[in-house]
Structure 1
């Protein structure tokens, strides 16, 4: 009996070693430059202990071996290989794309059929066909057609605060409502106002699967790192009630449009056209200048071999669009508002550009005029450099790959099929060899005089290669039109609790400052009223010519006056 007991203990110890201890030695056994790893938590100990946010952990891995082209680390029990060298990143994501054409997928077909049909989860040829199917929906001309839908949302958002003296708001909260309304109208074909009606069902349902609480985050980790266990537990990103709500919403919308011949310039219409074979990628060069951060579509996205879309495919893409765009846009907009509040000189210059455009287009800024605003684009680009919502991106090795050494003392790195490689976007954006004074918010980096100095491949807010973000044009347009309308009416001011310098809270799942995004909105006095008040004051005080010039300049600078 004792022998069986002893054998059981030995067997348990062997199992624990091979399943718990041995995985932490993955990179050490392969003689690859790597950071220290612990059993179970891997290289994520500081993240697990809430000492550092995951973005900071990623930057630490990047910094630990500054001369290495790639560095191994353990994402819990899964081996990750971080690519540090720009040429190697380009090689993996572009030149040798056939070895790395998938993401670390949610392989969860059985328990989450909608997620499995979305672009972000598809792999191989299925992804290629779906990308080719969806790509024509995100071209410049399609964004131009959706523009007025976004603009209406931005106007409604700014008008919500109209008539109030000065308010303090949690920017992430209100920008989430704006992002919700934009997605509702452009992707699902319904117009709502979540600022005036925060209890609308669409916002409540959307919040259920975009609110990355603790249990949702754990569920996502399991689905990514242990798909078999996720299938066994029948884990879903989209719960049954959320899936049923959005499935009914989209299908009812499609039936009504088909029966009544309704045409609306939104994603559902474009996907309906794609199903009929009418949506093709534009072959002419697009004229709009959409900004430095915009990524170009690869030949894969322009392929003629497309996917046959079912209703569930359409629902899945709309939901994935919601899931991918809701938090990223609201996070980027929140950081942009924060930086503008902390850098009032930047805000003043941006307001001057906005005011010039408003005076030139009193009936509303056209799509082309918004995209031609250079300083607005610079501010957005610098926000995405300093605070990229996608702090890193990944590629899954689908067939064995060899990284040959090119530097002295460098060794061959063998990347096995199934290994995830990571592109550390935020770490690259904050590397002083690419961006001097990297922690300084400086939109001049992206001016006409300076943007040519940016090292190609060092700025990746929307990724790189054929699997870059399909919605870059959409996201940039959404942020620009939001701030155009918001800043035309309000000054963004820091709150008493606003943190400077900004540090990311290790206790929050999402990327956010320790004190949050509480900022003040103070109404701007219209230029005509300010000028009238200035002239009255001048007349009453018999001001000198010098003082007249001084006050007139003050009246034009956009500063709120009581």
Structure 2
């Protein structure tokens, strides 16, 4: 009897403690959600009851007149900033209070992931960013433009061999293969044609390492949040183990071959190898760059180039298929540009309507639905709310992009809202590549790749809906922003 009493008392004490921690924001006078014990507000996304963008928008819309709202990532309090001026302050003006991103993987458990720019913290992040940034300057992007153009032309030539008037296919598979070949060339220095060599290992391993779909993935994310040390003890990694080893081996072999044969390419590996050599020769440098550091940076660029760009392009093609007026206007600009001569990097940048279309795709379907930051120095909001060390804050990119206060009729695909002559975008409400020092350094590369792909595709084909096209779009409930029913559409010869 005493044992039962003690058990009940311990259970109630634990319950009280857990419940009290989920009133953190209420005790501070901040409006918050209604969280669940242990899971906080994360249950619907982890167990795929709702998509990440819809989850973010639901919290954002709870209190439309508040500048911020509190919620809980499992038991941890998170503050979502809704006000553009506050977003500017934490991301730019007071960045030194929010220099890091949240860590959801023990660095020792999966070093291949934890050493990339997205995961690094503090001084090491600054150090690596300064080294990698030169890869993505305009001059460097211009040098690799021909590689992307060549892959775009290979894609069109492949389709041109098919004599059917309309080819129906899931563009998700097509664009991932295109993006795979681009990143293989621009980052790894490899020539791959995944449309013709459909089972090539580079593509298959890329699919494995960038996929976070399925309920088992959701469970792994729960364990990463609640029991990170347990996963470390069990040897469970965030990244697919076989695929991670495959890419590490490729990079190691590439580095060895380039050193032995003195091969120079204007890509990520070369820039990092040069930084590695400099640090080994300079005794004043405090830290070196290992081959693992190089592999980790290349891997995060693969993530961005393979999954992020390809999914954004798929959403974009869906919009063009269901908005033929926009597609026709864009094609007119493309055909006019073709008449003026061969496509170059400079002429691509000068295409105003193409730029407007890509901007609208990124507004409606941002591949980073939110930005996260961690408080690294105590911070006071509105002269009364103190954010403690290690508290996580979110910037709700997807919700800002869908807020009618900032974007009129936000569900409508309307490139005209980005007409530079109108300039009606409220600052700090359009954030497809983030904001401040931790914004995406590969944004020029991503935009150029998207533009080059659309330019070549629309010059030869009209994108049309088919019976399998999901209208309206239904979002997947996976961790990644995706379509529930794939991206089926038709390519019609023009």
Q: TM-score, normalised by structure 2?
A: 0.93
Q: What is the aligned partner in structure 2 of residue 298 from structure 1?
A: none
8 Å contact kept, 1:175–1:334: yes
8 Å contact kept, 1:358–1:365: yes
| CA deviation vs aligned residue, 1:305-355 (integer Å, no higher than 9, x gap) | 896321111111111211233211011100110000011111111111111
Q: What is the aligned partner in structure 1 of residue 27 from structure 2?
A: 29
Q: What is the aligned partner in structure 2 of residue 441 from structure 1?
A: 413
Measured at CA, do residues 109 and 322 of structure 1 come closer, stay the same or move farther in structure 2, by a change above 3 Å?
same
Q: Which among 384, 389, 392 is matched to residue 420 of structure 1?
A: 392
Q: What is the aligned partner in structure 1 of residue 370 from structure 2?
A: 392
8 Å contact kept, 1:403–1:414: yes
Alignment of 1:55-94 (within 5 A): 55-94=53-92
Count of residues in Structure 1 that have an aligned counterpart in Structure 2: 487
- Cα distance in 2 for residues equivalent to 1:315 and 1:92: 31
Matched, 1:344 2:324: yes
Measured at CA, do residues 391 and 493 of structure 1 come closer, stay the same or move farther in structure 2, by a change above 3 Å?
same
Higher Cα Rg, which structure: 1
8 Å contact kept, 1:129–1:306: no
- Cα distance in 2 for residues equivalent to 1:121 and 1:222: 18
Alignment of 1:299-448 (within 5 A): 308-361=288-341, 364-404=342-382, 412-448=384-420
| CA deviation vs aligned residue, 1:147-166 (integer Å, no higher than 9, x gap) | 11111111112222113222
Measured at CA, do residues 376 and 309 of structure 1 come closer, stay the same or move farther in structure 2, by a change above 3 Å?
same
Q: Is the partner of 1:15 in helix, strand or coil? A: helix
Q: Is the partner of 1:216 in helix, strand or coil? A: helix
- Cα distance in 1 for residues equivalent to 2:357 and 2:449: 14
- Cα distance in 2 for residues equivalent to 1:42 and 1:401: 24
Which deviates more from structure 2 when the two are superposed, residues 76-85 or residues 496-505? 496-505
Q: What is the aligned partner in structure 2 of residue 504 from structure 1?
A: 475
Q: TM-score, normalised by structure 1?
A: 0.83
Q: Is the partner of 2:160 in helix, strand or coil? A: coil
| CA deviation vs aligned residue, 1:72-106 (integer Å, no higher than 9, x gap) | 01123221110001110010011111110000124
8 Å contact kept, 1:250–1:315: yes
Alignment of 1:48-127 (within 5 A): 50-127=48-125
Q: What is the aligned partner in structure 2 of residue 282 from structure 1?
A: none
- Cα distance in 2 for residues equivalent to 1:515 and 1:319: 28
- Cα distance in 1 for residues equivalent to 2:388 and 2:94: 15
Which deviates more from structure 2 when the two are superposed, residues 139-148 or residues 304-313? 304-313
Q: Is the partner of 2:184 in helix, strand or coil? A: helix
1:50, distance to aligned residue in structure 2 (A): 4.6
- Cα distance in 2 for residues equivalent to 1:185 and 1:224: 36
| CA deviation vs aligned residue, 1:374-429 (integer Å, no higher than 9, x gap) | 11110000000011111111101112221125xxxxxx322121111000001111
8 Å contact kept, 1:34–1:71: yes
Q: Is the partner of 2:394 in helix, strand or coil? A: strand
Q: What is the aligned partner in structure 1 of residue 169 from structure 2?
A: 169
Alignment of 1:535-550 (within 5 A): none
| CA deviation vs aligned residue, 1:235-264 (integer Å, no higher than 9, x gap) | 312344223221221111112112212222
Q: What is the aligned partner in structure 2 of residue 14 from structure 1?
A: 13
- Cα distance in 2 for residues equivalent to 1:145 and 1:206: 25
The RMSD of aligned alpha carbons is 2.1
Q: Is the partner of 1:41 in helix, strand or coil? A: coil
Q: Is the partner of 2:22 in helix, strand or coil? A: helix
Measured at CA, do residues 235 and 22 of structure 1 come closer, stay the same or move farther in structure 2, by a change above 3 Å?
farther
- Cα distance in 2 for residues equivalent to 1:17 and 1:326: 45
Unaligned runs of 5+ in 1: 279-303, 406-411, 525-562
Matched, 1:186 2:180: no
